[in-house]
Amino acid sequence: MKEIDIKRIEKAVLEILEAVRENPQREGLKETPARVAHMYAELLEGMRHEPSEHLSSIFHEKYDEIVLLRDIPFYSICEHHLMPFIGKAHLAYLPDGKVLGVSKLARIVDAFARRLQVQERLTDQIADFLMVNLKPQGVAVVLEASHSCMTIRGIKKPGSMMVTSALRGIFKKDSRSRSEVLTLMHVDRQ
């Protein structure tokens, strides 16, 4: 994957500062172009990595009940306004002979989230990746996030939360399985 062009981002940020009629040479702004460039490199590091890097811990197990990791903190950058959206991911799968190391689930979320994204696509990418690589009986992914592009600008609705889901396999086809996994994702939550 291509490296991020830090110097080019610095020039673009300098141009933005000048376009909003700021003095990029004043004390507080002198290093801002470099800071912003390094921030984007960090926030978008998923663009330089493949999620498959996190498949090293697949174990063969006869476990045949739901595996759920919930409340995984994540952040991403909305591709429409280049503003962050921040939330929690809930991932579940019904194994068919293979389980993934628990920390790898969180790493897979980050690998997809740390890119220019929309929440709907992010949800689908995680679900599809787990279905293809683990080949489970089913996958359920629910993301809840607050989008700064609508909480601090535009309509300005702080506290609003967008929820997206992606169901695959048995969780999409069987209403009892779907109900069970969604209940587990939200048990003890208020």
| 116-117: strand order across its sheet | 116-117, 67-78, 84-94, 138-147, 162-169
Interatomic CA distance for residues 7 and 26, integer angstroms: 20
Q: Which of 22, 38, 45, 81 is catalytic?
A: 81
Annotated catalytic residue 78: yes
Six-digit token pair at 85? 């959206």
15 is catalytic: no
Q: Which residue among 10, 117, 119, 137 is the active-site one?
A: 119
Annotated active-site residue 80? The verdict is yes
Q: Which of 38, 45, 49, 149 is catalytic?
A: 149
- The answer to whether 38 is a known catalytic residue is no
Q: Which of 10, 54, 78, 125 is catalytic?
A: 78
Among 53, 80, 120, 186, which one carries the catalytic annotation? 80
Q: Is 117 a catalytic residue?
A: no
Task: Establish whether 49 is a catalytic residue.
Answer: no
Instruction: Clarify whether 31 is annotated catalytic.
Output: no
| Catalytic-role residue among 15, 53, 79, 120 | 79
Residues involved in catalysis = 78-81, 119, 147, 149
